[in-house]
Structure 1
Amino acid sequence: MKTSIKTAVVTGASRGIGKAIALRLAEDGFAVVVNYAAGQEKAEQVVAQIQQAGGHAIAVQADVADAAAVEQLFTTAKSHFGRVDVVVNSAGIMTNVPIAECSTDQFEQLVRTNLTGAFCVLGSAARHISQGGRIIALSTSVIAKALPSYGPYSATKAAVEALVHVLANELRGLNITVNAVAPGPVATELFFNGKSDELIQQMAKLAPLERLGTPEDISAVVSVLAGPDGGWINSQVIRVNGGMV
């Protein structure tokens, strides 16, 4: 079903922040490609929710760290909808472990999903996105805080920010923007996993607004970057964290 409607590809869109982004972009009028790695049922539920609201969406499985699978993701998006206008790389994993206790296997797993995955998605996005398109990668605000146990995770996301700045320059003259959105602590399954109630409360107090963010707080900023008001924002890291510095 090819369409003249602008199309967004959102990775990691079966749950959490990625799901909120997919739903928000559909609300904004985009046809949405809901990418997932393993959560097919949840991805199809996101598609059904979009379709029930009158939007257009499909679910496409792809491991973001598999370059061939990512290329097929974009090929499928263009085959189905005819175009790709917005790409949001939200797929990611988090492991909280001190640097001295982090095994190379744990670190390489983080690198594979968070960094190699971003590299593959950003590269394919640059090859397939329409002129005037928007590329957005998810980073993290904990980079600036240098919080204990976040070293390996922060390292992967800092590298993603470096890719964003370089890609923005490499796409000079094509009217394509490349930005990163760096959430603070957000109330998602990924954030809560492995944390005590005490630690969760401590992290909720880090920002002057003294609360955890919501997935919708993040999707609202992605909406601006993907929409008509985001055209002059390029090569930026927007820290969406309630004032956590």
Structure 2
Amino acid sequence: MSQVQGKVALVTGAASGIGAACAEVLAREGARVVATDIDDARGAGLIAKIKQAGGEAKYFHHDVTSEAAWAEVVAATEKLHGRLDILVSNAGIALSAPSIVDVSLSDWRRQTAINLDGVFLSVKYGIPAMRRCGGGSIIMMSSVAGLRGTPSLAAYCATKGGVRLFAKAVAMECAQANDGIRVNSVHPGIIDTPIWNKITGTATPPEHNSMTIAEGFAQLSVPLGFAGQAEDIANGVLYLASDAARYLTGTELIIDGGMTGGSFRRAPPDGNQ
């Protein structure tokens, strides 16, 4: 229970879903966590939960599209803990449309501002802080949608594909600088989180359905046959953040139940073909 003991971790988009799971797992494994989001109520709940479990965490309201906010959050993290070792650039949104021609320019720009500009700003301000303490691990949250195209999510795919190559380029830059900073991307598949309600435009809480939205999609397209949980992704983030991954940089950790591995025909429940 001490894979990142003594390290300081900054997690964006941490109020719910994958971000919350990352914050909880990192805190459980000994990191002092700085969690940021714009959902202050859920952020406060997350901090209370972490502290109740014996972890250490602090929450900051944080719009990841604001350069001034990034300067403030990183400075506050260093003032609070004296260092920054782990940066999980997780904040993101997914906006769907029947076709790319139906996507408004404002929605395109909103998605790129959060999913790409926010990640760019995270490293712009995170790298100098990590260099001041001798290195660290940057983990950028991409998606399987950053590896292959998906109908109705073209704009989202563009941002997540951008994150994938951005991580590789920054990894090479840090390696060239010999600054001790590793940079990798994580690519979740179908994970049962609240983002599915936003993508599909329904406000019905998944727990009120006989089958969650994510499970429905997973049974159709995931070789393992079920949706992943946020902690499945957080466990991968923990690995990349820990010293166990000291030889990994510029690579992709795909956690998708086999989606990108190939395809097959699932037998009917009764076994008949």
TM-score normalized by structure 2?
0.84
- Alignment map for 1:1-245 (pairs within 5 Å): 5-37=6-38, 39-97=39-97, 98-129=99-130, 130-172=133-175, 173-195=178-200, 200=214, 201-245=216-260
Which segments of structure 1 move beyond 4 Å, counting only runs of 4 or more?
196-200
Distance 2:45 2:93 in 1: 21
Q: Could you tell me whether the CA contact under 8 Å between 1:185 and 1:191 is conserved in 2?
A: no
Structure 2 gaps of 5+ residues are 203-210, 261-273
Tell me if structure 1 keeps the 8 A contact 2:145–2:161.
Answer: no
Q: In the TM superposition, what is the alpha-carbon distance from 1:192 to its structure 2 partner?
A: 3.0
Contact 2:78 2:84 (C-alpha < 8 Å) held by counterparts: yes
Number of aligned residues: 241
Residue identity opposite 1:168 in structure 2: A
Segments of structure 1 that go 5 or more residues without pairing to the other structure are none
Task: Name the CA distance, whole Å, in 2 between partners of 1:214 and 1:205.
Answer: 17
Higher CA-based Rg? 2
Change (3 A) 1:209 1:109: same
Q: Deviations over 1:93-139 (max 9, x none)?
A: 11011211111111111011111111111211111113230000000
SS of 1:95's equivalent in the other structure is coil
Question: Using the alignment, how far apart are the partners of 1:221 and 1:106 within structure 2?
Answer: 30
Matches of 1:194 and 1:72 in 2, distance apart? Answer: 31
Is 88-97 or 166-175 further displaced after alignment? 166-175
DSSP 3-state at the match of 1:193? helix
* Root mean square deviation, CA, Å: 1.7
Give SS of 1:34's match: strand
CA distance in 1, matches of 2:213, 2:15: 26
Once the two structures are TM-superposed, the CA of residue 194 in structure 1 deviates from its matched residue by 4.4
Alignment partners' CA distance in 2, 1:165 and 1:123 = 15
One-letter amino acid of the counterpart of residue 112, structure 1: A
TM-score (norm 1): 0.93
